[in-house]
Structure 1
Amino acid sequence: MEFAGKLALVTGAASGIGLAVTRLLVRGGARVMAADLEAGKLATLAAELGPAVQTCVVDLADPAAVEPVVHAAIAALGGLDILINNAGIGSLARATELDPAEWRKVMAIDLDAVFLASRAALPTLIERRGAIVCTASISGMAGDYRFTAYNAAKAGLIGLVRNLAVDYAADGVRVNAVSPGYTRTPLTAPSRPEVKAAFIDAVPMRRAAEPEEIAEVIAFLASDRASYLTGQNIAVDGGMTAHTGQPDVFALRARLGASASS
């Protein structure tokens, strides 16, 4: 099994991409500390995956709570080979409408917690020549309307990944990021059907990603198969970032022609 004997900490592990990653790691033979704010969902996860999973309830918005989670994982598992920084939250507001408290919370979870967890884990990861994989976003690669805090945090996260990769490559630690596009997760589930349709229409593959599709790339980056890959941000987005954003001229002409003839 690919992850036999490996020890991992996954944040935001109770749902969506984090849940899919945790399942993949355990099925590959890893033992995992699953950290999340949702105690009930963690209990369900532990019941599903059995003794290979231990759980920790944590609010990563509290900077004082981050380092203890890493140390708890190392103590409970007997070490750490893989850190998956997956936890994150969204935000929707222009800068002039954004409450500074909301800005700070997004930064605390989406960026600060990644720095603090990575910083705490690095001494052990250096000893064991481990890997860090972070869930970023294509929203960190360009701008989105009213995603002020989220765009800034994810852009900062991608920069942090590159810096950590350069600084710790000679120590045997690989650090990479995955930037999902529109993905079917609890974060996007509340959206109205019209909103989901608009997002999907912007995806060249014309569908949302499943969490398992993102998790497969994260697991690859955490595995020995990616042994010479570090400092990279891989967009898993159905082609969204390959597109200039300009309209499909032929489709537009077809619609305009149909309108003119009706």
Structure 2
Amino acid sequence: MGARGRSVKGKVVLITGAARGIGAGVAKDLAARGAKVALVGLEPEELAAVAAACGPDAGAWPADVTSWPDLERAVAGVVERYGGIDVVIANAGIAATGFTRSIDPAAFERVIEVDLLGVWRTVRVTLPHLIERRGYALLVSSLAAIVHIPGNAAYSAAKAGVEAFANSLRAEVRHLGVDVGVVHPTWIATDMVNSASEHPVFGPLRASSPGLSGKTYPPSVAVKLIVAGVARRARAVHVPGWVGVVKLFRALLPRIVERQARAIVPGADAAALADIENRGAAEASMVGPGGRAAADSANTRTAG
């Protein structure tokens, strides 16, 4: 490719959280462009189906990104099959709904484990292979790293951490020939976001967000921009472009959010407590099949 980017043909691309949503979409698009995609994540049947759709050069390695042994086995399998890794997309992520005073503590901490520590572990295990090939790491953050809305504290904290981690990592590995990028998607119509939108308390709370901040985009928008970012080894990918403009006003955003929250949070807080009383804290905090799979994996490891 020309100045707009490089060809991904023949490149080995490891993608975490590839069983659904953005990860699955990016895997299929990159495979169609000739990349050898290595899919890592939970939900083995879903993961295998995505790999099959990506063609014979694709492979699937079931793994929990919160588990060092899982990641080490998966990465070793990828390297054994393909000989190395050129690109890592640390995409695995979950969400949990709830206000800090009442959210299920295990759900809150699981978001940090998957969305932040899972990214760190993915990078740490794959980094030697990226250094060997002077490769590229793309870490998936979120608009939530920039705009911190009520009921989303765990996700905002984790995704802000991912952005900060990416920025530090970029400065650490540039001299080794490794490039680092960070993705900031807004609301994308994945299973996770759709499930959050259906939540009896936090769905309406999110829907009350004004203007572009409340708009949901189809996965194809994210896939197109992320694949283009991989091709040019971008330092930042904004999904869509206006997210980059929002970053320029970061210092003003907390006060704006607080002002808007005054009218809606008191009622939502009471509704959240009632929902927990009705369904239990764990179920009231659950978001999407990915969140459930992460909870099941964590419970299995604890029981073992």
TM-score tier after normalising by the smaller chain length? 0.7 to 0.9
Aligned counterpart in structure 1 of residue 222 of structure 2, from 214, 219, 227: 214
Query: Taking structure 2 as the reference length, what is the TM-score of the superposition?
Result: 0.72
Q: List structure 1 segments (4+ residues) > 6 angstroms apart after TM superposition.
A: none
Amino acid at match of 1:202: P
**Which SS does the other structure have where 1:204 is aligned?**
helix
Give the length in aligned residue pairs: 242
The Cα RMSD (Å) is 2.6
Shift of 1:47: 2.5
Q: How far does residue 25 in structure 1 lie from its aligned partner after superposition? A: 1.1
CA 1:152–1:201: 2 relative to 1, 3 Å: closer
Identity value in percent: 30
Deviation of residue 176 (structure 1)?
Answer: 0.8
Distance 1:171 1:137 in 2: 27
TM-score of the superposed pair, with normalisation by structure 1: 0.82
In structure 2, what is the Cα distance between the partners aligned to 1:20 and 1:196?
A: 28
Q: Distance in 2 between matches of 1:10 and 1:17?
A: 10
Kindly indicate which of the two structures has a greater share of residues assigned to helix.
2
Please state how far the C-alpha of 1:238 moved relative to its aligned partner.
6.4
Does structure 1 conserve the Cα–Cα contact (< 8 Å) formed by 2:19 and 2:46? yes
The reply on whether 1:187 has 2:195 as its aligned counterpart is no
Displacement of 1:11 in angstroms is 0.6
- SS of the residue corresponding to residue 98 of structure 1 reads coil
- Amino acid across the alignment from 1:182: W
Correspondence 1:63-142 to 2 at 5 A: 63-142=68-147
Moved more, 79-88 or 67-76: 67-76
Deviation at 1:174, TM superposition (A): 0.7
1:160-190 deviation line (CA, Å, top 9, x unaligned): 0001101001111111111110111010223
Shift of the 238–183 alpha-carbon distance from structure 1 to 2, 3 Å rule, reads farther
CA deviations on 1:219-258 (whole Å, 9 max, x unpaired) are: 22222x34xx43x4x33146366386699xxxxxxxxxxx
**1:112 aligned counterpart, secondary structure:** helix
CA distance in 1, matches of 2:241, 2:8: 27
Answer yes or no: is the 8 Å Cα contact 2:187–2:214 preserved in 1.
no
**1:167 pairs with one of 149, 164, 172:** 172
SS at match of 1:156: helix
The gaps in structure 1 that reach 5 residues or longer are 248-262
Contact 1:184 1:210 in 2 (8 A): yes
- 1:28-47: CA deviation from partner (whole Å, max 9, x where unpaired): 11111111211221222123
